[in-house]
Structure formats: structure tokens, C-alpha cells
Amino acid sequence: MEATSQAPSHSTPVTDAFPKKSLEVVDIVVLVLYFVLVLAVGLWSMWRTKRSTVTGYFLAGKSMVWWPVGASLFSSNVGSGHFIGLAGSGAASGIAVTAYEWNGLFCVLALAWFFLPIYISAGVTTMPEYLQRRFGGKRIQIFLSVLYLFIYIFTKISVDMYAGALFIQQALQWDLYVAVSGLLVITAIYTIAGGLAAVIYTDTLQTVIMIIGAIILMVFSFIEIGGIDALEEKYFNAIPSSNMGNSTCGRPREDAFHIFRDPITSDLPWPGVLVGMTIPSLWYWCTDQVIVQRSLSAKNLSHAKGGSLLAAFLKVLPLFMMVLPGMISRVLFTDQVACADPELCRQICGNPSGCSDIAYPKLVIELLPTGLRGLMMSVMIAALMSSLTSIFNSSSTIFTMDLWRHIRPRSSEWELMIVGRVFVLILVVVSILWIPLVQSSQGGQLFIYIQSISSYLQPPVAVVFIAGCFWKRANEKGAFWGLTIGLAVGIIRMVLDFIYVAPQCDQPDTRPGVVKYVHYLYLSMILGALTLITVVVVSLWTKPPSEQMISRLTWYTRWDAGVRSLDPVVEESIVQNGVGTVENIPEKVDTTGSSDVLTEGSMDVKPSFASRLKKAVLWLCGMDSRRDDSFGQATPAPLEPAEVLLYEGPTMSHVLNASLIVCTSGGVFLWAYFA
């Protein structure tokens, strides 16, 4: 089988290097049916939920039960970047990349049991808003809001768009940017129209499709290669024919089937895996707006915990659904997936750094029969769309609630709804411009690119959140300077990585020592320690935070009975529970009210075509065109007592805690078995 599947060497024409199979009519029909189903679910969720308020649009009305929350957590995390990136890293270096997934298994449980009770008790909508309430002032909130948006562009949106487009490019030979544009049109429609509810319900559907499709491909892959024992034997012989003599280029790693690897010379050193990987993982699962926003949409804490448990159990699957199939792809299509010659790689996949990222698309196109190829195309597009919609909605939330309301503290709810939707479109354009850098980074391993950038930007934020949640003495000055110093060092290293690119195989490494010898996971540990020391020293050196900055905002004070009194300036721009602006502003009604409403409501004039079109657009976006609903803002209700917000029934609490023990025990066993 290997001989017939491998690509020819240098004499191969460019056109022959691409998959010979392509989608047939049946595959296209399956794809179309998938899109119809997704749009139907999106429209159903639009009817089902109230999208014309900030809470309804950004937090799905806080009405979600555990299973869509868990499914959305999983599908928001596992996008097309995971399918492409995990399979590609598996093909290039083995199973060690699975550590990121199993690390997340524990961190998503930490979110529900330790962080979420604090966020719910505080009554926050966004993570920058939490830090603003915990530390006071506005500079940390604005700092974090801008940083989150940069992180989303660098490590999420552009990566997922590139990964999904790469898959389509391999299947249909479309131009990369044409594929990106086509996907974005469909994705943006129901994100902008439906809000978080549409995103969560479509995520649930896409999770089911992803798991079914990925398991089918996994079964086909193992049947083709002859099982796990055959994979262990054949993987080490999967050396491309272009490999020159004794060169290490394109050769599999000797520790390919181990998660814990040499602390000095390996690609993923085990101390970095245990500690350096955990810090950005805590940021992602416990403080990232995309993830926390899904948990905050749950109807109560028990449902949020149930959602985290479902997501944790699902996080076991990526090794079997993505990493091992990627390794199988290397065995079946060695010359293409494991190519080591830059010119040949450029011919095969357009990337001289390497073609390991085509491992999963190659399996789908070459291995699956007609019909199932269309299903797996649906899986990849489902992964892409579920991630993008989640990130678009959360980015829109941060920009609207944390930045725009700072610029215009008296903005109406109508204005916030419009700004949130327009910002999605701007974000798309910026992300597309970043794709070329993603394509050329980290030797063609997309997942490693994601994790290296995360290790430079996320540890300082994670440490500040942990200090704010679990150390009452942490204050604003400590948090700000910890963030500033930690991020300054991380950004310098990130810039150096882009200036001094890793050399091609067998080329001399002339990079500075700080880039060449300090692994990004070790840098994550350094940044975490540097930030923590700065937070502790500056906080102890300066005035402790007031009671208002602690009550209902830390683990130890989450049960406080008293409701905080906000600073008057903050009260004008930050509204508890994210339910509108503080005061009614009649002059805004007069200056921005719809003349169509007045004409139709008070003068008995027949509505014009323009008026009807406007109403249709407003309905599609979930924005009620009636002036009194759009602009009349009631003063928000006071925050409910913690006993109400954090209540869990005794029976349900015992069931959830027992499930937590089972899940964590299973995670520990997996780590020990594959270490």
C-alpha cells in the first residue's frame, strides 16, 4: 500500500503532487445538506432567544443547559486548526502534542469548580470587566481588552481560517484566499444575526458531526495501516525518498510515542509540558472570553459544571481522532506529508517550511469513499465555523462592552448592538491580512505556531487573574506592573521569533541564544514567575485594595452578602450583568429615533418599501425597531445574593463531584500510561 500511495520524487509535476481524487456529486450533496442543516439550526435559535438585549445577544439570556454548554466548549476549542495542526504535529513528531489536550482536560474542570463561582458571584459579562471591578481604575481593563483582541487575531481567527482554507485547497484546488472568503460569508451571517445562542446551538450540532466524522476516518485509517502495532512499526520507517544519505531531515523522532521527552534537546521538554504548558492553558480555559462566555451562559452553576465535565471527557478524543491519524498519514503518504526538501515542499503544499499540515486533508481525500469525503469536508468546515463564530462573538463582546463603552459611556443599547456586529466585519479583514505570517511560521507545524505565540502572550495575564481570584492582597498597581513587565518580555521574544526564523533542516542555526536555547515552554515558566514576583512585590509595597475591590470578587469572599457600591464614573460605563446603560437618555431618543416609526405609528401613512426593508434587516439582526424598546433603558436590578447565584442542590452537587473524581482519575491514568 505504501508504494502505491507515496508521491514521486523531484521529477513530480506540480499538478501531480496534489491529491488525484476530488469531491464528486454525492460529496457536494452531503456538503449542501450540511449547510442547510446548520442554517436551519441557526434560524431556529434566532426565533427561540431574545437577541435585542445585551444579555440576550452576548450571554444567550443565561438560559443554556449543560449539554449545549459542554458541546460548545469543546467545538469552540477544537477548530479546524486542531484537525490540521494536531494531525500535522503528530505526523512530524509523534504523540507528544497530545499533552496540550490532556492538560486542558484538568483546566476546564478548574474553570467550573474554582473560577466560575467567582465570576458568577461578581456578575460580570467579560473578563476585562472582572479585572476592572477587582482592581479598579480603567487601564487594566483597556490593556486587557486590546491584548485579548490581538491574541484572537494572532492565535485563533487567522489560524482557523488558514487551516480550513488549506483543507479546501487540498480538496478542490481553490485559491487559498477565495476559500477563506467563501467560508467567512456563511460564518458571519448567523454570528452577526443570532448572537451567542445561535453560536452555541450550531456548535452543538457541529460537535456531533465532528466526532462522528473523525471517528469514521480514524477507523478507516487504522484498518488501512493494520492497527496500532503496525503504526508503531511502520512510523519509524516513514522516511521521504528525497532524504539525502545520513541526513536527519524528514526522519521520525525516536521518542515519537512518548509524551514526556528530554528536558534539554527535545521539541517538547517534559518540565515545560508539566509547568510551562499549564500556565497558558489556565489562561485559555479559565480566563479566556471565548471559553468563559459559554459557561456564563449556563442557567446555573450546576449546569456550568456539567458542561465542563462533558468538555473534559471529550478532550480525551483528540489523540485518537487527530494525532494518531496524522501519524498514519505520514506512513501512507510519506513523500508528501514528510517532505524535507524546500523546493519539493513548495510544489506539494506551497510551503517550503514543510507539508506536515496536509496530513489530515490527505487522509480524507485519498482514503475515504465517495459520500464520506463530503461528510469529512462537512466536519472540517464545522470545526472551522464553530471556532470562528465563537471567537467572533466573544471579540465583539470585549470590544463593545469594554472598549466602546469606555469611549462612549452613555451609548444606548441600540448603539452597542450595531457596534458589536460591525466590529466582527473589521476583525475578519485584519485576520485575513495576518494569514501569510501564519503560513510560514514554526516549520510548517500550525499547532506549534499557536502554542508558541500563546506562551509569549498569555502567562502574564493568567498569573494576574490567579492572583486577583485567590489572593485578596493583590492590588491594581501590582497587577498592572506585573502585566506590563511580563508582556514586554513576552512580546520582545515573539518579535525575535519572527525576525530570526528557525533555519531549514541541515542549515546552520545563527539565531541569538535567547531564541535558540530557551524553549517557548520554558519562557512561559519564566514569564509566569516574573509576573508573579512583580505582582507580589508591588502589591505588598503599596496600599491594599479596598473592601469594594474584594467583596464578591475573590474565592474567599464569593459568599459576601453586601453588594459593592461602584465608583460613580465606573457606574456610568459598567453595568452589572451587562443589561444596558445606567440611565435613560431621552436626548438620544430624539436625535437618533426612527422617523419611520413616527410616520407609521402616528400619521397612518402606509409603510414604504424602504421602511419594510429596514424592519426586515432589524429583525434579522435581532434589533427591535420600536423606539421605546430600543432606547428606553431601565435601571439595572441589583445583583442577586450569592446564595441564589451559586446555589446547587445537594444531590446534584454529589453527582457532579463524583463525576469530577472519575474524570480526573481517568486523566491521570492517561498521562501515566503514555508518558
Residue 55 predicted with pLDDT over 90: no
Residue 664 predicted with pLDDT over 50: yes
604 vs 639, which has greater pLDDT?
A: 639
Largest CA distance in the chain: 88
Residues 325, 90: Cα–Cα separation, whole Å = 8
**pLDDT of 250:** 73
Question: What is the SS3 assignment for 261?
Answer: strand
The answer to whether the CB of 186 falls within 8 A of the CB of 53 is no
Residues 234, 378: Cα–Cα separation, whole Å = 30
Residues 599, 80: Cα–Cα separation, whole Å = 49
Cell 454525492, located at residue: 26
Question: What is the SS3 assignment for 50?
Answer: coil
Q: For domain 2-564+639-674, give the CATH number.
A: 1.20.1730.10
Residues 656, 164: Cα–Cα separation, whole Å = 36
With pLDDT > 90 as the criterion, what percentage of the chain qualifies?
30
Q: Three cell numbers at 6?
A: 507515496
The packing angle between helices 459-470 and 520-541, to 10°, is 40
Q: Spell out the residues 6+ positions from residue 501 whose beta carbon is closer than 8 angstroms to its own.
A: 440, 441
Region 298-306: mean pLDDT is 91
Q: Worst-scoring range by mean pLDDT, 149-153, 358-362, 447-451, 664-668?
A: 447-451
Residue 148 predicted with pLDDT over 80: yes
Q: Three cell numbers at 394?
A: 466573544
Q: Three cell numbers at 482?
A: 506585573
Q: Strand pairing partners for 269?
A: 261
Q: Spell out the residues 6+ positions from residue 68 whose beta carbon is closer than 8 angstroms to its own.
A: 200, 201, 203, 204, 307
**pLDDT of 539:** 97
**pLDDT of 484:** 95
Region 351-363: mean pLDDT is 82
Residues 187, 282: Cα–Cα separation, whole Å = 28
Q: Spell out the residues 6+ positions from residue 17 whose beta carbon is closer than 8 angstroms to its own.
A: 7, 336, 347, 348
Residue 201 predicted with pLDDT over 50: yes
Residues 156, 388: Cα–Cα separation, whole Å = 8
The answer to whether the CB of 438 falls within 8 A of the CB of 449 is yes
DSSP H stretches of helix in 542-585: 568-573
Region 59-88: mean pLDDT is 78
Q: Spell out the residues 6+ positions from residue 172 whose beta carbon is closer than 8 angstroms to its own.
A: 22, 23, 179
**pLDDT of 571:** 44
Distance of CA 161 to the CA centre of its chain: 12
Q: What is the CA radius of gyration of the chain?
A: 25
Closest CA to 632 of 584, 572, 573, 587: 584
Residues 240, 335: Cα–Cα separation, whole Å = 5
Region 464-469: mean pLDDT is 96
Label residue 616 by pLDDT band (50, 70, 90): low
Give me the sign of the Cα torsion angle 265, 268, 271, 275: positive
How many residues can be counted in the chain?
A: 675
Tell me which DSSP letter residue 500 carries. Answer: S
The answer to whether the CB of 354 falls within 8 A of the CB of 36 is no
Q: pTM for this structure? A: 0.78
Residues 109, 310: Cα–Cα separation, whole Å = 10
Query: Between the ranges 293-297, 527-531, 545-549, where is the mean pLDDT highest?
Result: 527-531
Closest CA to 525 of 299, 261, 278: 278
Label residue 108 by pLDDT band (50, 70, 90): very high
Q: How many CA atoms lie within 13 A of 93 on its CB side?
A: 21
**pLDDT of 265:** 83
35 vs 303, which has greater pLDDT?
A: 303
Please return the burial class of 651, using the count of CB atoms within 10 Å of its CB with bins 0-12, 13-18 and 19+. exposed
DSSP H stretches of helix in 359-412: 359-367, 372-398, 405-407
Tell me which DSSP letter residue 350 carries. Answer: S
3-state secondary structure 8-57: CCCCCCHHHHCCCCCCCHHHHHHHHHHHHHHHHHHHHHHHHCCCCCHHHH
**pLDDT of 627:** 42
Q: Worst-scoring range by mean pLDDT, 15-19, 154-158, 228-232?
A: 15-19
Q: Spell out the residues 6+ positions from residue 452 whose beta carbon is closer than 8 angstroms to its own.
A: 441, 442, 497, 520
Annotated domain spans of the chain: 2-564+639-674
Q: Which long-range contacts (CB under 8 A, 24 or more apart) does 433-441 make?
A: 434/153, 434/154, 434/158, 435/158, 435/161, 435/162, 435/176, 435/177, 435/180, 437/498, 438/158, 438/159, 438/162, 439/162, 439/350, 439/351, 440/351, 440/353, 440/501, 441/353, 441/497, 441/498, 441/501
Residues 139, 148: Cα–Cα separation, whole Å = 14
Residues 89, 104: Cα–Cα separation, whole Å = 17
Q: Spell out the residues 6+ positions from residue 672 whose beta carbon is closer than 8 angstroms to its own.
A: none
**pLDDT of 287:** 93
Residue 59 predicted with pLDDT over 80: no
45 vs 671, which has greater pLDDT?
A: 671
Q: Three cell numbers at 306?
A: 456539567
Closest CA to 355 of 443, 436, 292: 443
Region 218-243: mean pLDDT is 89
**pLDDT of 448:** 73
The answer to whether the CB of 180 falls within 8 A of the CB of 25 is no
**pLDDT of 628:** 41
With pLDDT > 70 as the criterion, what percentage of the chain qualifies?
74
Closest CA to 429 of 128, 70, 161: 161
Q: Three cell numbers at 604?
A: 397612518
Q: Worst-scoring range by mean pLDDT, 51-65, 118-132, 276-290, 428-442?
A: 51-65
**pLDDT of 632:** 39
Please return the burial class of 568, using the count of CB atoms within 10 Å of its CB with bins 0-12, 13-18 and 19+. exposed
Label residue 331 by pLDDT band (50, 70, 90): very high
Q: How many CA atoms lie within 13 A of 251 on its CB side?
A: 12
